[in-house]
Amino acid sequence: MMYGIGMPLLFPIAAFTFFNTWVTERIMVAYFMKVPPALDDKLTNNALGVLKYAPLFLLANGYWQMSNA
């Protein structure tokens, strides 16, 4: 997603990929998993901790891409 400003086609491709992953995981859990894996909130909190910096990386990388064109 950091290259989205330079290549805007990546945003719909990423949206389709996320949707496809979500549907595939739902089907896998519904039909193939007998007991869902036991997860706590540590994984979610770690992901949110890392992703809160994603907009800053997008802006910095986008500025760099637009200034080098």
* Residue of 7, 11, 12, 14 lying closest to 65 (CA atoms): 7
> Is residue 21 situated within a structural domain?
yes
Residue 56 lies in a domain: yes
Domain range for 37 is 10-67
Q: What is the pLDDT of residue 18?
A: 95
Residue 3 lies in a domain: no
Task: Give pLDDT, residue 62.
Answer: 87
pLDDT computed for residue 1 by the predictor: 62
SS3 for 34? Answer: coil
Indicate the number of domains in the chain: 1
Tokens of residue 66, six digits: 């637009």
In tens digits, what is the pLDDT along the chain, a chain of 69 residues?
Answer: 667 777 888 889 989 999 999 999 999 988 887 776 778 899 899 999 999 999 999 899 889 888 875
Tell me, yes or no, whether 2 lies in a domain.
no
